[in-house]
Amino acid sequence: MSDFILDRQNQRLVFIDLCAFVLGYVNRTLLMNRFSIKEATASKDIKAYQDKTSNLQYYPSIAAYKPLPWFCPLYTHDIHEALLLLAENKQEVICQTDLSNTSYVLQIPVNKPQLKKVCPVLRALSQKGVVDIEYASRTSGISSRTIIPHTLIQMGPFIYVRAYDRLKEQFRTFKLNRIINSTTSTRTIAPAESIENDIEWHKNLEVTIVPNGTANLETLELDYHLINNQMVVQLKKEVLMYFLMGWNIAPIEYEDLPYTLFPLKVASIKPLP
């Protein structure tokens, strides 16, 4: 077997490992869609993975392999790969290192979530499950909670998860990097805890954003694709604060924030039906 074929198969083995770890399952369909391979090849890849480590068990009822309780990932994965898989069903591919030698990328020094600590939360998102977490809050410190996550939110440098919180008996938004530890729970979800009953999540807004001043309007049009000196964005009410923070947009109630740091401001907010 050529080195090229072995390398391609190794990419698929890494993908199998990542799906089992993050999604909580893997099957031939995932492999076939991701790599445009035939069913026979996907079957061989799963067998090759199982030959390396007996981490998976086949469940005929869902036609998929699920990780066993003692599952330990065979490869090293990071939170970026996990989020890419969950949000876009993609896998990162690293090109030749010399292709990036002419660029400069500044990594913002925020504390990234550790995948091993939040993986049960990501699995619960994938499988609509329940998870126990230890969470650090600004107001109440560290506490144990049971949550039912339904949506991942990526806004600015931070990642959030929208979930029902059994401790507070309401839907709340949690910052992923504040989760100190998490454990999969076998408890079931009550109807009131499902996304359909997250009333605030289903409220949408139309936000009109304009320049925070009159200087260099042509430049702002190029930066933010403004049309007639404004940008209209439709989003969920619950993510408005994170959107404004991520884009450095001055909220509607603050009139005197400096243009240098807040080149845009909110002009109006209108509820959508």
pLDDT in tens, the chain (273 residues): 555 556 889 999 999 999 999 999 999 999 999 999 999 999 999 999 999 988 999 999 999 999 999 999 999 998 888 988 887 655 544 444 454 455 555 455 566 789 999 999 999 999 999 999 999 998 889 999 999 999 999 887 788 999 999 999 999 999 999 999 999 999 999 999 999 999 999 999 999 999 998 888 888 888 989 999 999 999 999 999 989 988 899 999 887 899 999 999 999 999 998
User: How far apart (Å, rounded) are the C-alpha atoms in residues 77 and 115?
Assistant: 8
Per-residue pLDDT at 94 = 44
What is the per-residue burial (b if ≥16 Cβ within 10 Å, else e) of 236-268? Answer: bbbbbebbbeebebbeeeeeeeebeebbbbbbe
User: How far apart (Å, rounded) are the C-alpha atoms in residues 81 and 85?
Assistant: 6
Q: Which two tokens stand for residue 152?
A: 């991942």
Would you kindly state where each structural domain of the chain is located, as residue ranges?
Answer: 3-98, 115-198, 203-272
How far from the centroid of its chain's Cα atoms is residue 203's Cα? 21
User: How far apart (Å, rounded) are the C-alpha atoms in residues 123 and 41?
Assistant: 26
Per-residue pLDDT at 102 = 54
Per-residue pLDDT at 103 = 55
Amino acid, res. 57: Q
Residues contacting residue 115 through CB under 8 Å, at least 6 positions apart: 22, 77, 78, 79, 82
Full-model pTM: 0.81
Contact 247, 231 (CB under 8 A): no
User: How far apart (Å, rounded) are the C-alpha atoms in residues 104 and 107?
Assistant: 10
Tell me the CATH class for 115-198: mainly beta
User: How far apart (Å, rounded) are the C-alpha atoms in residues 264 and 242?
Assistant: 15
Per-residue pLDDT at 99 = 46
Q: From residue 63, give the alpha-carbon distance in Å to each of 29, 58, 111.
A: 10, 7, 38
Per-residue pLDDT at 56 = 96
Per-residue pLDDT at 154 = 84
Residues contacting residue 156 through CB under 8 Å, at least 6 positions apart: 242, 245, 246, 247
Tell me the CATH class for 3-98: mainly alpha
Per-residue pLDDT at 97 = 47
Q: From residue 271, give the alpha-carbon distance in Å to each of 17, 231, 236.
A: 43, 16, 10
Per-residue pLDDT at 88 = 64
Of 75, 81, 82, nearest in space to 120 by CA: 82
264-272 and 249-250 strand pairing:
parallel
Residues contacting residue 38 through CB under 8 Å, at least 6 positions apart: 32
Per-residue pLDDT at 4 = 54
Phi then psi for 185, rounded to 5 degrees? -110, 150
Common-topology check for domains 3-98 and 115-198: no
Residue 226 CB coordination number (10 Å): 17
Contact 166, 257 (CB under 8 A): no
Helix runs in the chain, H state only: 3-22, 28-35, 39-52, 79-88, 115-127, 217-224, 240-247
CA angle 212, 215, 218 (to 5 degrees): 100
Per-residue pLDDT at 109 = 53
User: How far apart (Å, rounded) are the C-alpha atoms in residues 236 and 242?
Assistant: 11
